Structure 1
């Protein structure tokens, strides 16, 4: 005898609440396992394709593991040092601009006084900007000295964090390899645990969720990689300083529509204004790089690689990232996209059921 719908909702609600409670309680403890599961999920289609070519599952996973490690090592050796160097140089440039800000303002005051003799008298507050900036920098320097002990504690905490990162890099590959080997077997075992009355519906909804995730995560990840390489290579080709790191930032943020191009474009054009001031052709070239990237993404990459049926609206995605990140921390950011995709698919499924019900159609639907 099947359970009443009210009892089923109660049991599933309790199960969901317990799952969220355990997720919040464990926190960063399950982070390596979530990362490993995400990597296994992303690479499972590749392993399935190698299996269809005649390779055993273990051999397919071994090939994928070796290829991934080679790509990772090559990236670390070739790209990461350059990005780190440019990041440090960019930070030093910003610090230098801040340090020179009072002198710049003083020079501007002198120029305005000579060009417009009555300007400083009409705007006396402008004359005090130089003093205000110097006081702010002096206060900041004093605050750093006063908090030297806190800085030392922060360094020690960073060392502890470095150990955690190393442990993370050791655990995640192991978890990913084991899950990738047993992925199909685990999915089959989970299928046997589904309630028999609802198994077909759950399978259909799960397939829709998988299609949404596959289209968004795998497709959008490839779009991010392509655009990141394009932006970095194009900005480096025109000679823009810190072009590689700006391109990497723009490519990484592309998974949120328009944000990557907006942030990367502002950074690149701002740097181009400092570097190419007066040479407007190169500034326009930097602007054209991001415009062309947006055109290619909107007309070719996203329709071909991601598709139009993903159903993850940018606002919904931002809300999921904010909500899950605030509640569960970094782990929340990892589960935000899968959770948003699952909730979106379930919401569409429930909406379709609602439209088929007499609650929506009214009493007239019974006689039709």
Structure 2
């Protein structure tokens, strides 16, 4: 017999509060383990596919780890130094870009030549603000991250955690499944499957889309001759995690920089715009339908709310769990709505079918004889 709903709600509520309290108290310590778990979750389908191809789980995990190590080494040696260099150059060039914008606007809007103009003062301050605060912001992010965890510990712990979690992923899932209350095992398995579908479609699929688009934008913009093409491509690819935002931010940034660099060369400016137009066409018609799917059930506004709320409450660790928690809450909310719509509270008493009449008692043979 199942426990009453009030007691179940109390137990699960206490478990949820303890989880949030644990994240609040130990969030900084758990960051490497959360990152390692996310990597293992992302790569588990690859390991499963290698197993189906005939490899053992140990061999598949070792092969994936080796390939990931080579990718990281390639990024560290080839991409990251250039990315840092271009980011620093973009920050330092902000005042000049701002002055060019001021000159451009002044030529076409003479009223801005008035030194008391608020718009002119604003434009003049933008570049100095970005230059002064851009480096401080980057340094603050790095220093805060280093204050949370040691870089050496992070680099060492994350691969080890990801390796062992990926190696034992199926065993852990089976162990968790064995701990599900038997009265609710079918419902929990169904909800867990829906949550996994949302995460697989959004996290795995959208992250793959981000990597592909980021690489495409970076390479294409650099080939087009844009000075900060790698930075713009990285930004556009990263922000693509939030649908439509990446294209808008990346497109505005790239076309704006192209206007300053290639002013008068409308062919070059058109090439930069065409790069983003083609990227959006490929994303909307090929990448997103194939890798993400049409109905992952995670609305961009809901994602932004989860990232903001959990980031404010739990810091960087909260941002790492924001997407899984948002996906889980979305599935649970849809389940609660479906249960509500099937209940008497929603449908009304009249919709409840009447109870079948009680069966007429049948007299036994010896009772008939007595009668």
Deviation larger for 199-208 or 44-53: 44-53
Q: Deviations over 1:179-207 (max 9, x none)?
A: 11111111111111111101111011001
Whether the aligned pair in 2 keeps the contact of 1:232 and 1:244 (CA below 8 Å) is: yes
CA distance in 1, matches of 2:79, 2:272: 22
Match of 2:367 in 1: none
SS at match of 1:231: helix
1:276 is the counterpart of 2:262: yes
CA distance in 1, matches of 2:42, 2:141: 35
Where does residue 86 of structure 1 map in the other structure? 86
> Aligned match of 1:241 in 227, 234, 237?
227
Query: C-alpha deviations, 1:46-105, integer Å up to 9, x for none?
Result: 11111222222111111111011011111221211221221122122114446x689x77
CA shift for structure 1 position 367: 2.2
Aligned CA-pair RMSD: 3.4
Task: Please tell me whether the aligned partners of residues 213 and 338 of structure 1 are also in contact (alpha carbons under 8 angstroms).
Answer: yes
Mapped to 1, the partners of 2:112 and 2:196 lie a distance apart of 65
> What's the CA shift for 1:125?
2.5
Question: 1:187 and 2:173 equivalent?
Answer: yes
In structure 2, the residue corresponding to 1:277 is in which secondary structure? coil
- Cα separation, 2, equivalents of 1:359 and 1:219: 39
Deviation at 1:226, TM superposition (A): 1.4
Alpha-carbon distance in 1 for matches of 2:130, 2:228: 27
SS at match of 2:336: helix
Task: Please report how far the alpha carbon of residue 339 of structure 1 lies from its aligned counterpart in structure 2 after TM superposition.
Answer: 0.6
Superposed, 1:118-267 pairs within 5 Å as: 125-126=116-117, 161=147, 164-267=150-253
Could you give the per-residue CA deviations for residues 222-252 of structure 1, whole angstroms, max 9, x where no partner exists?
Answer: 1111111111122112111111110111011
Summarize the Cα distance change of 1:160–1:75 in structure 2 as closer, same or farther, 3 Å threshold: closer
- SS in structure 2 at match of 1:197: helix
Structure 2 residue ranges without an equivalent (≥5): 355-371
Rate the CA distance shift 1:156–1:125 in 2: closer, same or farther, 3 A: closer
Maintained 8 Å contact 1:101/1:133: no
Q: Following the alignment from structure 1 to structure 2, what is the Cα–Cα distance between the partners of residues 154 and 266?
A: 26
Residue 298 of structure 1 pairs with residue 275 of structure 2: no
Aligned length in residues = 350
**C-alpha offsets along residues 276-320 of structure 1, whole Å, 9 cap, x if unaligned?**
111222212212221221122112211111001200111111111
Contact kept, 8 Å, 2:94 with 2:130, in 1: the verdict is no
**SS of the residue 1:66 aligns to:** helix
Distance across 1 between alignment mates of 2:69 and 2:278 = 33
Give the Cα–Cα distance (whole angstroms) in 2 for the partners of residues 251 and 155 of structure 1. Answer: 20
The structure-2 alpha-carbon separation of the partners of 1:198 and 1:160, relative to structure 1 and needing over 3 Å to count, comes to closer
2:314 to 304, 311, 328: 328
Q: Find the aligned partners of 1:124 and 1:93 in 2 and give their Cα distance.
A: 23
Larger radius of gyration: 2
Match runs of 1:301-320 below 5 Å: 301-320=287-306
How far apart are the structure 1 equivalents of 2:328 and 2:120?
Answer: 53
1:147 equivalent in structure 2? none
**Alignment match, 2:363:** none
Aligned pair partner of 2:336 in 350, 354, 362: 350
1:6 to 2:6 alignment = yes
1:339 aligned onto 2:330: no
- C-alpha distance 34-84 of structure 1, shift in aligned 2 (>3 A): same
Shift of 1:129: 6.2
